[in-house]
Every structure is written in C-alpha cells, then in structure tokens.
Structure 1
Amino acid sequence: MKWKCLLVDDEPPALNILEKYIALIEQLEVVDKCSNAFQAMEVLQKKKVDLIFLDIQMPKLSGTGFLNTLKNPPKVIFTTAFKEYASEAFDLDAVDYLVKPVSLERFIKAVNKVTQANNFIEEKPIATAETTGFLYFRADRKMVKVFLDDIVYVESLKDYIKIYRKNEKPLMVKQSIGTLEAMLPEHLFLRVHRSFVVAINKITAFTNHDVEVGEMVIPIGRQYAARLQQFPGFKK
C-alpha cells in the first residue's frame, strides 16, 4: 500500500519540489495538487488522502485555519517559509513542520515520522546524497557519478548548471540550480547567490559581499546574506 498524498501550496515551485521528492519515495503517491484550501476541501470529499503537505500562508484561508475546519483530518506535514507558526502547527497535532526551502534530507525525516508512528508500510532505507556521498547527473549522453566531496561550487547558466569539481573538468548539466540545491545536503552546501551554490568546506575566505572558493570570488546575493550568519565573524 502507498500513502496517498495531497499537496496544498499557492506557490507552484514549492509544489514542484514536493512532487519531485515524493517521486523518489516508492511508498508515497500524489493524488492531487491544490493552490488553496478550498480546492483541497473538494479533493478531500472526492478522494482518499492519507497525508497532506500543507502550506500555511495562503489566500483567503490559511493552512492552519483549513485544518481547524476538518473533523477527521489526514496526517499533516506543514510546509512554510515562516518559523513563527510552529507552535500553532504542533497544537493542531501536525506530524512535522518544514521551513522552506525544504531539503530532501529534512523531507525524508518528516516522512519517516509518519511511517514509523503508524507502521503503515514496511520501512526501507532511502538512499540520499547524504547517505551515499554522491549523485548521478546526465551529461554528454551518459550518467556521470559525482562525489559530493569533489564539488567545489555550482554556477547557474540559464537552463543549465555548471558543476565545478576538484581535479576534474566542469560538468554541464541541463537542470535548474534550485533543483540541485534541494538535492544537496544543507549542512554541506550553501546557496550564496541566485546563480551560485558553494561547498561550505571549500570556502577559503569571505567578506560581507562575497565568498572566495580557491581563486574564484563569488558575490553574495542580498536575499542570501542571512545564511552566512553561521560563519564566525560575518556581519550583515
């Protein structure tokens, strides 16, 4: 049996990321996607749903408000860009509370809480980049194995990304940098600009405005500056 999942979010990119994550897990199945709570109500009346991935801030009716209207709701995992609703979410017996951008590893931890608590499926280890230490990318008409430790930084070039590796030539892959960011372990890689993701252990120096990765100087985007707070000595 599979968990029947309903995705509710008013941001299409967020829905796409969740759908891609679910596609990687054999025990999950998307039964529908909705952009607001009222569409979700209609789906629940027509289809069997075991698990809802639910955004909080949505037009007309919030995710928490929607959940309050349900008498016998399915299991719920909240997905939101705001940390301040966590207490309210758990008061509603949510299984977990994911803050966007949601990494694949964090997503799997949330799903495991559901499966372990309900003993609904036979548990199987799920291979991730963090557990295997590598990813495969389609390039030059073949699947290329790239070890995480070899990645120095990644640059976005329109519809492609360019993966710079130590002791290897750069690898050009047709994929968005946002999708790649979601695949990479968040404690090992950092998005510092809309066009750049860097390996944290490859950063050799940084200022308020840029990071240095070897001889490469990469600018820090304004919306990503807050992420650099984890580095001692960095001041916004």
Structure 2
Amino acid sequence: MKALALDDEAPALDVITSFCNRIDSIESVNTFTRTGEARLYLERYSVDLVFLDINMPRESGLEFYRSINQQTMVIFTTAYSEFAAESYDVEAVDYLLKPFTFDRFNKATQRAFARWQTLKESSSDGNAQQTHLYFRVDYGLVKVAIADILFIEGLDNYLKIHRSTGQPLVVRLTMKAILEKLPTGRFVRAHRSFIVATDKIQAIRNKLIVIGEEEIPISSSYEKDFFAGFVK
C-alpha cells in the first residue's frame, strides 16, 4: 500500500515513518506537516492509506479528510479521544491514541491491508459489472452512473465529467486518478485533456471523435494507442 502521513509535529511523523519501514504491506510513505502541502500531493498522486492527526492548525484532520477527492482509507493518529465518534462517520479504519506502540500501529495497518485487499479483489472480479462511481463534491459524495458518462475533460487540477443527463460535474481529481477508477475497456484516452466512453463514440472523422454535438480531438501522442485499443 502507498501511504501518506500528515501531522504538524515532525517527531510524530518520524515515529510513523519508522513504524512503516518495519511493515511489509507499506510500500512507501510520504510525510507532510501542513494540510495544504498534503492536499497538493493528493491532487497529483494516488495513495491507499492516510495516517492523519486530527488536531491540526487552521484545518482539523477531519475537515481535511472530508475535503479531499481521493477515496482513500484513513487511520487517525491523535492525542485526543473525544474525536473517536466522528472518525466512525468517515469510516476510518482505526483510531490510534498517542503515544501508541508499534504493535498497536501494526494491528491498525494490517486491518487497513485486509480492507485494501478486499477492495482490490472486488474491483478486479467485478470490474465489468461496475455500474457507479462516487466523487467528492462540496464535502459530500455524488453518485454517478458509469453508463451516463460521455467523456471527461481535464482542466488543470480539475475534471469536468460530461454526462448524458444533467449538468457536467466538476471534481478535483487528476486524469491519472480517474483512469484508475474507470472500468477497463470501457473508456479510452484520446488526448492529454480528454477521456471518452467507447460506447458513446458516434463517429471518427479527421482525428475528431464525435459524441453528440461535441467534437473531441485525438492527439498525436495518443493516436496509436487509441486506434490500437479501440478500432479493430
């Protein structure tokens, strides 16, 4: 699992890093002392697990976790027990009270690993049957039917999800991150800024994909893979 640790106290991050280095299921861990830096990292890279302090300056760990778009697992690490009930509202894997031992930390991490494996196996076995995706929008989750997605447009650190019903949905996510969520074989990248649903393509003319009234370009960088994987 790829992990991220966020705590405003560097010694606490040193402990987490040291513990993670002793656990085989943790592939790597990136550490941050500020929520802004951690948020910028999560906008570019995917992680499987976040170790998160709750009592942070300016923005609490709970507020931070509710605001990010990645649907990553979280283990709270804090010196305050009164936030335990709130942690269950966001389906936290565990709640570690400082100072915690390696054995207690390892137990929480193995619990996360078991959940991660279950999610991974479920995604692998049922990828073709996947019908919906969930996106974080305005501190909540929005359910989107995969069959309604026409194409996805990249806008810097945001994506605009164009649907057959309703207004386009703007989410704070990267192209790389959404490609990992989409069912294999049902979507193809045609351009640095566009992913299209293969079953919604009506025509391809002069390196332009026609979907409804929209014309989406096929860039030279993606042309070979696009035609190799889609047009037989």
> How high is the TM-score relative to the length of structure 1?
0.48
> How high is the TM-score relative to the length of structure 2?
0.49
